[in-house]
């Protein structure tokens, strides 16, 4: 858009925003709530289209939301999103292609090292079977809309291993135990606490290409810099920093659907009040589940409340360990297959608390990943019904369970040193997130995401409170690219309205 048009846009906003005698000073036509992927992408889209009359209110003391790359070990680690899932039709990948920056990513190898709690090795054909089942789930979600992932893939896997290993009792037993590992991979992918919670066939559309493209150096955070024009050439950055207000937790969003003048009042925890014509609301589905009832005046319409209830939001957890030096060989991951007896026994051999689930929490430890660019750091994945508790226990207890488990599976091969530093994610305990990413439950119907994303409109039909964020993306929910698409979508709604 040329400069004259930009100038006219500015005037238009000024004229439309005609409550000059208002007692509040904090007036701006547009307020974006949340400076995560969706909020930042909406903001950059507005700026690129000559609209700069907006503010972003962010509750945390930093931007990025569920993208959080922090210095650890000899580089960066991602406490939140780490990989770009897919290429074709993935807005993240396509932006990199357009900017000739695809070399910032590399694809990861699939897991290949399986270890048994008994210390025995998992035979190659059993590992291949497990990996095959995992890839099947990653790439081609099958099943029916009324069936859970656990049922569809449990059946598929059970049938397959009975056919292949039916005559080999030992292999069959190991393959049966590996179902536990598969379930945890699915729970991690879906961010659920049980693989019976998520639906096997959903509206998610896989972007073709590599599914696990990892940021080589700086973590996913570099992509936000790319969006904001700070990377690779800082001189072309968009004037966005000055529009972001940190530590601004929004506690109320009030408006009047029937009033002729569009006017939303946004109250913050620190007592400040902002007035806007349009709000783009981006906090997570977890925040909506906990706070929607209090946040919005008047109460959100029934279909939106139903969507908030029936779309799922669970959590998975990452723990990073830094060692004095690398003690493993060139593995890409260690994958733990808990034998049935050892799983039952874990409570006795590792009496470490807590264990509110009836089984020891260490059985929820199923995978340890190496980071190629950060050679003395390991990533431990924990998932399932214990994440909420483990996010808040003492470092010492968490570490002792991890060390116990690693020794149990790897002790016969490696002499494992003590880690010197630990860092964990706390997405579920943090009230600004309350979980990791959304998923579709058996109660999620086809139109439900549309219900969640539809703006609340004034009597003349124009959007007043708009919803963006990962969970509002019908085809790419649970991802960064979905969040970014949703931010663009809502910014475009305003751009269209004001530039036509
Ligand atoms: C552990 C983990 C691993 C992941 N892995 C991947 C991955 O590998 N690949 C991938 O594509 N995606 C991944 N994701 C998902 C991805 O991170 C999210 O889908 C995406 O970042 C969500 O962006 P968003 O803008 O929708 O929400 P958010 O990033 O949650 O942004 C919303 C913002 O709103 C703020 N906020 C909340 N409440 C308030 C309030 N009351 N007032 C003001 N501000 C508020 C929050 O602080 C936050 O900054 C992962 C997520 C997690 C947690
Ligand atoms: C793209 O980047 C590579 C290096 O990563 C460089 O060799 C190549 O010339 C670049 N191409 C263009 C069109 O800029
Ligand atoms: C089991 O695997 C380890 C590490 O991969 C290897 O060193 C060992 O020789 C294997 N043992 C058997 C019996 O195959
Ligand atoms: C799911 O729906 C199919 C028909 O579409 C039906 O045959 C099947 O019994 C249903 N399963 C469950 C678990 O309800
Ligand atoms: C698959 O087999 C296991 C026993 O190995 C059983 O617990 C599980 O329920 C089976 N899953 C399905 C979906 O049949
Ligand atoms: C689906 O809805 C029913 C009835 O409201 C509820 O009991 C059940 O727990 C829900 N299931 C899921 C997976 O959310």
Q: pLDDT tens for residues 89-105? A: 999 999 999 999 999 99
Which of the 8 DSSP states describes residue 357? T
Residue 336, pLDDT > 50, answer yes
CA 155 to ligand 5 center in whole angstroms: 7
**43 in Cβ contact with 242 (< 8 Å):** no
Sequence length of the chain is 500
Determine the topology of domain 2-66+220-310+441-499 in CATH. FAD/NAD(P)-binding domain (3.50.50)
CA 454 to ligand 5 center in whole angstroms: 40
* 123-156 pLDDT per residue, tens: 999 999 989 888 887 776 677 778 999 999 999 9
User: For ligand 4, is residue 392 a contact (CB within 6 Å)?
Assistant: no
Ligand 3, atom 6: nearest CA belongs to which residue?
413
Distance CA 198, CA 356 (A): 23
User: For ligand 4, is residue 146 a contact (CB within 6 Å)?
Assistant: yes
Determine the topology of domain 109-211+316-426 in CATH. Polyamine Oxidase; Chain A, domain 2 (3.90.660)
Q: Helix axis angle, 3-16 relative to 480-499, nearest 10°? A: 80
- Measured from CB, residues less than 6 Å from any atom of ligand 5 are 151, 154-155, 158, 176, 179
pLDDT score of 13? 54
Distance CA 152, CA 149 (A): 5
By most ligand atoms within 8 Å of CB, the mutation choice from 146, 155, 201, 443 for ligand 4 is 146
**400 in Cβ contact with 352 (< 8 Å):** yes
Residue 412, pLDDT > 90, answer yes
User: For ligand 6, is residue 146 a contact (CB within 6 Å)?
Assistant: no
Across the beta sheet with 463-467, the strand order is 244-245, 54-57, 30-33, 278-281, 463-467, 456-457
Ligand 1, atom 38: nearest CA belongs to which residue?
432
Q: Tell me the ligand closest to 440's alpha carbon.
A: 6
Confidence of residue 18 (pLDDT cuts 50, 70, 90): very low
User: In degrees rounded to 5, what are phi and psi of residue 471?
Assistant: -70, -15
User: For ligand 1, is residue 223 a contact (CB within 6 Å)?
Assistant: no
Q: What's this model's pTM, rounded to 2 decimal places?
A: 0.93
Half-sphere exposure of 80 (CA within 13 A, CB side): 21
Average pLDDT, the chain: 92
Q: Tell me the ligand closest to 309's alpha carbon.
A: 6
Q: Helix axis angle, 480-499 relative to 91-98, nearest 10°? A: 80
User: For ligand 1, is residue 284 a contact (CB within 6 Å)?
Assistant: yes
The stretch 246-271 carries a mean pLDDT of 94
User: For ligand 1, is residue 360 a contact (CB within 6 Å)?
Assistant: no
* 423-435 pLDDT per residue, tens: 999 999 999 999 9
Helix (H, G, I), strand (E, B) or coil at 278: strand
Q: Tell me the ligand closest to 124's alpha carbon.
A: 3
* Residue range(s) occupied by CATH 3.90.660.10 in the chain: 109-211+316-426
| H or E stretch at 320 | strand 316-322
Q: Tell me the ligand closest to 172's alpha carbon.
A: 5
**279 in Cβ contact with 264 (< 8 Å):** yes
Comparing 229-238, 263-272, 353-362, the range with the smallest average pLDDT is 353-362
Distance CA 228, CA 95 (A): 12
CA 158 to ligand 5 center in whole angstroms: 6
User: In degrees rounded to 5, what are phi and psi of residue 495?
Assistant: -60, -45
Ligand 5, atom 9: nearest CA belongs to which residue?
154
**154 in Cβ contact with 147 (< 8 Å):** no
CA 186 to ligand 4 center in whole angstroms: 22
- Measured from CB, residues less than 6 Å from any atom of ligand 3 are 121, 413
* Residue range(s) occupied by CATH 3.50.50.60 in the chain: 2-66+220-310+441-499
For ligand 2, what atom is nearest to the CA of residue 100?
1
Ligand 3, atom 11: nearest CA belongs to which residue?
121
User: For ligand 6, is residue 158 a contact (CB within 6 Å)?
Assistant: no
Confidence of residue 1 (pLDDT cuts 50, 70, 90): very low
Ligand 4, atom 14: nearest CA belongs to which residue?
146
User: For ligand 4, is residue 147 a contact (CB within 6 Å)?
Assistant: yes
Residue 359, pLDDT > 90, answer no
């Amino acid at each position: 858009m040329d400069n004259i048009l930009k100038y006219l846009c500015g005037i238009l906003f000024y004229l439309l925003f005609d409550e000059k005698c208002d007692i509040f000073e904090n007036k701006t036509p547009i307020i974006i709530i949340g400076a995560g992927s969706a909020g930042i992408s909406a903001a950059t889209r507005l700026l690129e289209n000559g609209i700069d009359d907006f503010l972003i209110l962010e509750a945390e003391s930093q931007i990025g939301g569920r993208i959080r790359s922090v210095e650890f070990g000899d580089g960066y680690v991602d406490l939140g999103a780490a990989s770009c899932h897919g290429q074709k039709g993935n807005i993240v990948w396509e932006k990199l292609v357009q900017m000739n920056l695809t070399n910032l990513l590399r694809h990861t190898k699939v897991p290949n090292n399986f270890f048994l709690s008994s210390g025995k090795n998992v035979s190659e054909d059993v590992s291949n079977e497990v990996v095959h089942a995992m890839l099947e789930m990653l790439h081609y979600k099958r099943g029916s809309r009324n069936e859970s992932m656990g049922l569809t893939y449990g059946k598929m896997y059970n049938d397959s291993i009975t056919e292949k290993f039916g005559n080999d009792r030992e292999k069959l037993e190991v393959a049966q135990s590996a179902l536990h590992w598969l379930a945890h991979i699915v729970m991690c992918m879906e961010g659920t606490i049980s693989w019976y919670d998520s639906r096997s066939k959903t509206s998610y559309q896989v972007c073709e290409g590599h599914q696990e493209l990892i940021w080589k150096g700086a973590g996913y955070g570099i992509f936000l810099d790319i969006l904001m024009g700070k990377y690779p050439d800082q001189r072309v950055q968009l004037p966005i920093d000055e529009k972001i207000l940190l530590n601004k937790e929004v506690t109320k969003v009030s408006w009047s659907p029937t009033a002729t003048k569009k006017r939303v009042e946004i109250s913050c925890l620190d007592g400040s009040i902002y007035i806007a014509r349009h709000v783009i609301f981006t906090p997570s589905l977890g925040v909506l589940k906990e706070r929607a009832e209090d946040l919005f005046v008047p109460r959100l319409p029934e279909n939106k409340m139903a969507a908030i209830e029936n779309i799922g939001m669970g959590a998975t957890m990452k723990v990073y360990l830094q060692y004095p030096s690398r003690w493993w060989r060139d593995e890409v991951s260690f994958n733990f297959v808990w034998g049935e007896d050892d799983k039952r026994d874990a409570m006795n051999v590792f009496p470490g608390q807590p264990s509110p689930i009836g089984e020891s929490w260490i059985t929820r430890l199923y995978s340890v990943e190496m980071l190629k660019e950060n050679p003395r750091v390991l990533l431990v994945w924990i998932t399932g019904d214990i994440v909420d508790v483990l996010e808040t226990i003492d470092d010492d207890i968490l570490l002792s369970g991890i060390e116990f488990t690693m020794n149990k599976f790897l002790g016969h091969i490696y002499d494992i040193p003590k880690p010197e530093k630990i860092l964990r994610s706390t997405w579920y305990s943090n009230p600004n997130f309350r979980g990791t990413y959304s998923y579709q439950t058996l109660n999620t119907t086809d139109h439900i995401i549309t219900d969640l994303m539809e703006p609340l409109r004034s009597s003349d039909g124009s959007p007043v409170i708009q919803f963006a964020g990962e969970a509002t993306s019908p085809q790419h929910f649970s991802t960064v690219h979905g969040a970014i698409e949703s931010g663009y979508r809502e910014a475009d709604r305003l751009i269209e309205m004001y530039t036509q």
